[in-house]
Structure 1
């Protein structure tokens, strides 16, 4: 019976020493030389001026430079990056390993730009050389062929050089090692060391890119099941594989679990799915690299299918997995994938890294009896030749992409202008991310300014507020955008090319004290000279709930509150004259209703829009304070009637047809209504609660007003809220004396005037759950105002310190990781001992 080379060594006959070392030496040299030639522009560039061309590269390099500076001062794991987003936890969202690797390379290269240039070819070489470890399964020729194709696969090059996603570059380089150690673990090759190798490799991937780590876990779980279905492994191997995946996740929980709060996890799944459905996949005919990647993938699929007979279960399993990964990235089929649970957390484009891994290994796998002592038969050599031919095709498809770039002179000029201005604190960049991440680098490195924005807001506690500012810019709510930038501490605003002719934006900035405009090509800089400062909260009206932002953008005097009404205390709510509830969340409806009743008893005014309120379990309708929301569907705005007049609202937005909304039922009085199927449907009415009228708004009128800027609807809300549309709040500034910012937090002095005693003081620092606030050395409970820290203090001078501490779940997560490590190590030692004992017994004479 022939022994298949995929499950046993191709040949057990001893070879001469020279023969054993010749093939690996030649393979290593070929891979290294090929990578050096393919990436020569990056390797030969002057490290001091090897500026990246990738969209995200500058942001990663800035963090690496910051980390290197911190390490040089003895701070090995800095908690805070104070330069971006009014304070950012450096490693709370972004995986730490790539940043440390870049920082280390920067010391060797003498420049962080040199580190970025070297990082890409070194990662490619590592990934390619990892393929050579497959020689026992694929033969040296097959392993070398796969290595060459892998190092310049078009999607890999695009991600590294054009996207500049350096964490993904390093995680992709680890994928061949992960697959090999996982296969060895399933087949008990070199066990338990193969299992330990897999655990280490997967944890490294998670510490490079959490989403890629999640994708690997999902892919390996699927691979196990398909391999078992193909009769390649037993069910015990499947259980062993699943256990390894769980242990790897538990082992990395010291970093992973704290990072699962905030960041991309906090972004609404619907918003992510909508953005992803607009992306293109790997198979598209719009540019050479995409055409090459798609065409090469189809070629690999067809070649394996054409040689299906005689292929081992492993080869077939890899082909199936590669096909599934390819299908996920096809644009026409994205809606099917995005309908799956958690698909918004594992983006389909990420599977493009796994597709070549599976298909190259599948095609390179020799068929029955092909791989012998001399390296293989004709079909084996032919397949290897085809794979090798893919390498120059990839190089051709990505030509002109692998090169260093130039520093954008406009961004550099703005940054140097900022550094020359004596007064100033933070800068906000109004460009909707049209500029590369060079702006995030230069505005701080050259300009010396902290930034309201930065690079990749997903990990920022301030992120939701920045989304609102960007939405305001897109919809023309410029007064709101400028005001909230000022609230975040922006003494300078850089206006991007998109707003060059937007006179309304310049007028809004000028009206709020920003002047001295300076033009630098397509960029305009305006400034409002000021030192670091806090503010007495000016808000007397708050909108609370997930939809609160649309109210604040139309009425900047309205505070955007938190989504969960039960996160407020009665004392907090008592500071507002009016609260507007829209899309609220709660721990329990009873708690939410009691909180609102207590607020009403204190004399507050309440307006309710039941849109996106939690639905009652039995009726499947929102129910709050005795009023129920009934769903209706409108194709046009109906004729409205009030007590003494007809009300004419603007036509409904055609973006949503039909317009599905709620009309409140159970009201004591109806002020505005229309007929719906012969029944009276309320648009505005009230119900008496605790002796006061609570206003209820129907048909999702706030969102209609936001989309259409219907003057009738906006005027209605202005009357209800008691504020003017577009009017900004008048803030009382409180200077921060002796201001200092660093990786451990912030410190400053603050004088609270008599009139502000007991009122909320807004400190323009991101309200992170790990931040400890001390006033005069005493820890105090802080709240938040629009994602910024808020405190109350008595009159007089106070010394305040905001300390960056560990995440709330950091302690238990570290314990879980430590216990997992001890468990795995203990198993490995005992397992190794039992293996040695069995070998010793087997060697004894019988």
Structure 2
């Protein structure tokens, strides 16, 4: 009775604490905080309104990224949970966020309380429940990163560790059965984080194997981790076809390691604020104490946590980066997993004297105090809504929304995080479509967005406004600090805007707002004079907007009829299946008057000779440092700028086999050719990676040389024509009426688009023919996903029978000696 009263009292205290947390955040007015918070709040709001209209799984959202599959590439459970929280809050998304934060604390606390009850450590379990939410790394994930899905998954994480540990240490096979649905919930919160937990558990099992010399129990645990991924196959299969899995995350991975001193310094938060991941000095001390002094049963978690900590340090990056799949080893994200192992192992350490238990608990609490500023911001003078309005006004978003007819390109370098696209598309019940959003991994137009960002940062402003128009933007909003030379570039930006009929509508010290008056929804028809083919070819298009990026890097994917319509073709990083056929195509095009520019640095390696050659011209490696030597051309010496600082070591190529050399240099007294022609004057080879040097430095002399090599073939801008469209959206259908053929609608092209009319894709955008085009939206890869989920469910049932049989055999084996003895 006394125990039950204590449990009830603890639950009530948790409830009051959850309400207090929401109240403290609300009175501060400075919420929601977190880089990605509003991305998730926005999705919850969209789902909430979709459900109210009877659509429980919206396939498509037209307001971000020129149309995006909002539910496909990010796990759906947090979106439904946020929609649920918003419903509790009366349909107000910001109030729903406060409910979300409160429930993350409350549910997480109840999980630890449940574990404490089950382990007969009620007081310690109650303490852990109150502490877990406030662990510095957990607060950092929720209030700095704004990773709401990971915060929700951390509610379930202790429960999963508990069930697995019960199986490993207590031989409770039913616990491992319960671990599977718990891990399904984690994977449906954040599949990437579930993968990290899976890797951490392999490390945990390795330590277990070393300490206990057992292998039989490891296999069932691994199966219990694999099965959940199969069970959610109906969603996971489609999610893995594209999105984040198709992008290179190696550079992102590098940023998720840091010095051990930073991870363990408790005072750094007082001097620098909560700007870094923090493992926790107290948690680390408890782990070291437990690793050397605890019993074997609790030692496993302590050692596994310490190994995870070691892997978060910068010295381990060089090692881990060599592993297959290393681009997903964002090790600082593993910290909370290690913390669960530490706290749970601490709870299992039943032999520890009460005085030491109290001392460790006090240290853990004290270590949380410097992070209090993430929750408490004082009593604010304005409400959250008023603060948002001020941000919208200061960033000119309010004005942009009022003048935009179709779409806004909001280019702030993500300085405002997910708040900027939220203010544009969902704030104050007003919605304006945007080319940007938050969570770019789900964008079909990710490459287009990167190109716009490059154009702003490197000063290619004519390209910027032309491609912004292609993406359907009649408004372009630019943060001045994102320009290559800051405010000095404002005249150049404004002049480039005028070439595309954009005018500077409004500006302040931080932002420039440009708008082109177009009275209707529109698409474009464009005639380019040049085509860039290859993975390394796109860099030339920034300097020459009249050159378009080819959608394929393989020459075999293009026909003579298609390519002969261009005046200039630039090849760099291209490929082919049949070298002879590719060479014949290039010669035929040159005979037809098409100028072919071939970058030597982008010539593929011959499959047979392993040499890099094309049309009888071979490439030879050469190295420079800081800058080129004196270059000689048919027009005299070519004086060039130094290399870009980040590319001071320059590995490139020169040529052997040119029919007529146009450029050369002397290397150790020997003349080598870096530019010239072969076959006829229309096939031009250029080496030394000059085109990329021009992209990086905008070297005017190199630009003039490139102009001469290409001839007077290109215009400053492509011939782009505005075409009025009528577009109607329904939950499962998009209807487009076009007065012309081959109109780029500016809608992102998705594989869920199905139409009886012919659909084309150009630059990841949807192209339609004359007349009415009806696009049906259909859930992708249904059959494959259902097969995977069905296999997972059947596998789970067999898994239960297998564990039950193993347990029965073990019990029978233990009884036999007793029967013999009797």
Query: Is 2:729 the partner of 1:741?
Result: yes
For 2:731 and 2:423, the matched residues in 1 are separated by: 19
Q: Which residue of 1 aligns with 2:761?
A: 783
SS at match of 1:670: strand
The 1:74/1:533 distance shift into structure 2, 3 A limit, reads same
Superposition deviation, residue 468 in structure 1: 1.1
The 1:165/1:473 distance shift into structure 2, 3 A limit, reads same
Superposition deviation, residue 415 in structure 1: 4.5
For 1:293 and 1:19, the matched residues in 2 are separated by: 44
Q: Which residue of 1 aligns with 2:773?
A: 800
Unpaired segments ≥5 residues, structure 1:
1-17, 371-376
For 1:724 and 1:165, the matched residues in 2 are separated by: 50
SS at match of 2:571: strand
Superposition deviation, residue 36 in structure 1: 4.4
SS at match of 1:287: helix
Cα deviation, 1:25-80, whole Å, max 9, x if unaligned, reads 455445444444455424x669xx89512232222111111111111111111111
Cα deviation, 1:764-783, whole Å, max 9, x if unaligned, reads 111223323x3xxx342523
The 1:806/1:631 distance shift into structure 2, 3 A limit, reads farther
For 2:248 and 2:276, the matched residues in 1 are separated by: 31
SS at match of 2:683: strand
Superposition deviation, residue 470 in structure 1: 0.7
Superposition deviation, residue 669 in structure 1: 3.0
1:459-478 aligned within 5 A: 459-478=442-461
Contact 2:735-2:773 at 8 Å conserved across structures: yes
For 2:405 and 2:704, the matched residues in 1 are separated by: 38
Q: Which residue of 2 aligns with 1:825?
A: 797
Greater Cα offset, 510-519 or 286-295: 286-295
Superposition deviation, residue 541 in structure 1: 0.6
Cα deviation, 1:81-108, whole Å, max 9, x if unaligned, reads 1111111111222221111111111111
Query: Is 2:689 the partner of 1:700?
Result: yes
Contact 1:543-1:579 at 8 Å conserved across structures: yes
Query: Is 2:556 the partner of 1:579?
Result: no
SS at match of 2:722: strand
Superposition deviation, residue 591 in structure 1: 7.2
1:490-529 aligned within 5 A: 490-498=473-481, 501=487, 502-515=490-503, 517-519=505-507, 522-529=510-517
For 1:197 and 1:595, the matched residues in 2 are separated by: 62
Superposition deviation, residue 228 in structure 1: 0.7
The 1:543/1:107 distance shift into structure 2, 3 A limit, reads same
The 1:448/1:151 distance shift into structure 2, 3 A limit, reads closer
Query: Is 2:329 the partner of 1:346?
Result: yes
Query: Is 2:662 the partner of 1:652?
Result: no
1:399-798 aligned within 5 A: 399=373, 401-402=375-376, 405=384, 406-412=387-393, 414-421=396-403, 424-445=405-426, 446=428, 447-498=430-481, 501=487, 502-515=490-503, 517-519=505-507, 522-530=510-518, 531-562=520-551, 564-566=553-555, 568-570=557-559, 571-585=561-575, 596=586, 604-611=594-601, 614-616=604-606, 621-635=611-625, 636-643=627-634, 645-688=636-679, 693-722=682-711, 727-737=716-726, 739-752=727-740, 760-772=742-754, 774=755, 778-784=756-762, 786-791=763-768, 793=769, 797-798=770-771
For 2:556 and 2:733, the matched residues in 1 are separated by: 25
The 1:140/1:72 distance shift into structure 2, 3 A limit, reads same
For 1:830 and 1:579, the matched residues in 2 are separated by: 63
1:805-820 aligned within 5 A: 805-807=778-780, 809-820=781-792
Q: Which residue of 1 aligns with 2:380?
A: none
SS at match of 2:335: helix
Contact 1:145-1:388 at 8 Å conserved across structures: no
The 1:80/1:312 distance shift into structure 2, 3 A limit, reads same
Match of 2:106 among 111, 125, 134: 125
Superposition deviation, residue 451 in structure 1: 0.5
For 2:210 and 2:538, the matched residues in 1 are separated by: 51
Superposition deviation, residue 481 in structure 1: 1.3
Superposition deviation, residue 361 in structure 1: 2.2
The 1:495/1:335 distance shift into structure 2, 3 A limit, reads same
Greater Cα offset, 234-243 or 266-275: 266-275
Match of 2:162 among 180, 183, 204: 180
Query: Is 2:134 the partner of 1:146?
Result: no
Contact 1:410-1:521 at 8 Å conserved across structures: no
Contact 2:408-2:477 at 8 Å conserved across structures: yes
Superposition deviation, residue 731 in structure 1: 0.7
For 1:293 and 1:603, the matched residues in 2 are separated by: 58
Superposition deviation, residue 800 in structure 1: 1.6
The 1:454/1:804 distance shift into structure 2, 3 A limit, reads same
The 1:256/1:515 distance shift into structure 2, 3 A limit, reads same
The 1:295/1:602 distance shift into structure 2, 3 A limit, reads closer
SS at match of 2:125: helix
1:186-197 aligned within 5 A: 186-187=168-169, 189-191=171-173, 193-197=174-178
The 1:806/1:577 distance shift into structure 2, 3 A limit, reads farther
Q: Which residue of 1 aligns with 2:340?
A: 357
Greater Cα offset, 33-42 or 475-484: 33-42
Unpaired segments ≥5 residues, structure 2:
378-382
Contact 2:204-2:300 at 8 Å conserved across structures: yes
The 1:220/1:699 distance shift into structure 2, 3 A limit, reads same
Superposed CA RMSD in Å reads 3.5
Q: Which residue of 2 aligns with 1:387?
A: 361
Superposition deviation, residue 469 in structure 1: 0.7
Cα deviation, 1:684-714, whole Å, max 9, x if unaligned, reads 12333xx785322211111111122122211
Query: Is 2:196 the partner of 1:215?
Result: yes
For 1:657 and 1:619, the matched residues in 2 are separated by: 31
Tell me the matched-pair count. 794
Contact 1:251-1:818 at 8 Å conserved across structures: yes
Cα deviation, 1:695-742, whole Å, max 9, x if unaligned, reads 2221111111112212221122223345689922231121103x2234
Q: Which residue of 1 aligns with 2:46?
A: 66
Please give the TM-score of this superposition, normalised by the length of structure 2: 0.88
Cα deviation, 1:457-477, whole Å, max 9, x if unaligned, reads 221011111111111111111
Q: Which residue of 2 aligns with 1:263?
A: 243
SS at match of 1:686: strand
Contact 2:143-2:374 at 8 Å conserved across structures: no
SS at match of 1:248: helix
Greater Cα offset, 614-623 or 338-347: 614-623
Cα deviation, 1:258-301, whole Å, max 9, x if unaligned, reads 22243333333454356557999644664349789988733333
Contact 1:426-1:452 at 8 Å conserved across structures: yes
Contact 2:305-2:341 at 8 Å conserved across structures: yes
Contact 2:139-2:371 at 8 Å conserved across structures: no
The 1:398/1:504 distance shift into structure 2, 3 A limit, reads farther
Superposition deviation, residue 235 in structure 1: 1.0
